[in-house]
Amino acid sequence: MSIAKRLSAEFFGTFWLTFGGCGSAVLAAAFPQLGIGFAGVALAFGLTVLTMAYTVGHISGGHFNPAVTAGLTAAGRFKPADLPGYVIAQLAGAIIGAAVLYLIASGKPGFALGGFAANGYGDLSPGKYGLVSCFVMEVVATFFFLFIIIGVTSRGAPAGFAPIPIGLGLTLIHLISIPVTNTSVNPARSTGPALFAGGAYLGQLWLFWAAPLLGAVLAGVVSRVLQGEQER
């Protein structure tokens, strides 16, 4: 598959993840009568990955996340030379996805930007968790997200079913970590909303790059030891 097609797939996949996942929080969860709650937001993020993994995963591998690309590179499952292009495409998808979401959300009378589904620690954490708690949560959650991804796409795993445990894994991660960090495990997803939320959210964005990338690379190294360097 040409690199242009692969990057386009990553763009659209990350757009959908940001628009769908963050959109469920900004648009649907803002109305308690709809009954979506944070559990609904968690499910929405899982569904975005599941649907796009089936739709374009055969084109690009279905990363939609710089941490996933970094983790697969560390695991020996992805060419390092292709990493910068993937990250740029993912960032573009997330930023444009957030921009379209902002365009829609701001059309409501009395619209208040607030955190715009951005991530944060301390006063910007939904549960007011501190820096250390949030950093550890993002490292651990991203580690296991990559551990799941690498495991279910390895030789010997049932073929054709990988998007299901990956989507459910991301849903579970959100159920655990939304109260702590509003859940990142994805630097691109964090960057798009933070650019619109601005201020302190941009100032804290470093954590939602550093922690997910660290967790992902650790998972890649551990998985490489356990499962060897494989491709499917």
Q: Closest Cα to residue 73, out of 85, 64, 82, 65?
A: 82
Given this model, what pLDDT does residue 229 score?
Answer: 55
Distance CA 60, CA 186 (A): 17
Given this model, what pLDDT does residue 1 score?
Answer: 84
What is the per-residue pLDDT across 41-83, written as a single tens digit (0 to 9) for each? 999 999 999 999 999 999 999 999 999 999 999 999 999 999 9
Confidence grade of residue 232 (pLDDT, cut at 50, 70, 90): very low
**DSSP alpha helix (H) spans, the chain:** 3-17, 23, 37-60, 66-74, 83-105, 131-152, 163-181, 187-197, 199-203, 207-227
pLDDT beyond 80 at 29: no
Query: Which H or E run contains 152?
Result: helix 131-152
What is the per-residue pLDDT across 123-175, written as a single tens digit (0 to 9) for each? 999 999 999 999 999 999 999 999 999 999 988 888 789 999 999 999 999 99
- In one letter, which amino acid is 120? G
Q: Is 78 left (phi over 0), alpha (psi -120 to 50) or beta?
A: beta
191 and 205 Cβ atoms separated by less than 8 Å: yes
Query: For the chain, what's the residue count?
Result: 232
Predicted TM-score (pTM) of this structure? 0.94
Taking the CB of residue 57, how many other CB atoms lie within 10 A of it? 20
pLDDT beyond 90 at 35: no
Where do the domains of the chain lie, and which CATH numbers do they carry?
Answer: 3-227 (1.20.1080.10)
Mean pLDDT over the full length of the chain: 94
What is the per-residue pLDDT across 171-212, written as a single tens digit (0 to 9) for each? 999 999 999 999 999 999 999 999 999 999 999 999 999 999
Q: Is 108 left (phi over 0), alpha (psi -120 to 50) or beta?
A: beta
Higher per-residue confidence, 183 vs 227: 183
